[in-house]
Amino acid sequence: MVGRRRTGAGTGPEPAPEPSDANDGADVDAMLDVVDVPGWDEDVVADRRAGLELTLRLLDERGPMRRRAILDEVYPEHPGDYDSRDSIWANWLQPALSELADEGFLRRATGTHDDDGWDVKQ
């Protein structure tokens, strides 16, 4: 448990924190291996992959997220050579998330519009 106090002095290193209970820890690397990252240049592909990785880690850590919240976090750091938030969503993130849903890794979050909310499948 995070924040646990040690009861004995000099009893060794502090135990590692337990994983979050929100999800059992998604296999982000496996998800990234499923998706073919588009791009014409190594840097563009790397930025797009990093943006998808950040998206997946956010979903794993925070649980269900809507499009706007995902883009607020991802687009400023990893624009992927797209000129707008709408463009990166329509041309990269939403299709990648849909592909991962088809493969059984993600699901559309309950109570959201078609491609607006996403969550890691537990």
Give me the domains of the chain, ranges plus CATH numbers: 31-120 (1.10.10)
| SS3 category, 117 | strand
Nearest one of 90, 91, 53 to 73, comparing CA atoms: 53
The average pLDDT across 75-79 equals: 96
pLDDT value for 102? 92
pLDDT tens-place string over residues 9-63: 444 444 433 333 434 556 899 999 999 999 999 999 999 999 999 999 999 999 8
pLDDT tens-place string over residues 83-119: 999 999 999 999 999 999 999 999 887 665 555 788 8
Distance CA 28, CA 85 (A): 23
With bands split at pLDDT 50, 70 and 90, how would you rate the model's confidence at 120?
Answer: confident
Q: CA 24 from chain center: how many Å?
A: 14
The average pLDDT across 62-89 equals: 94
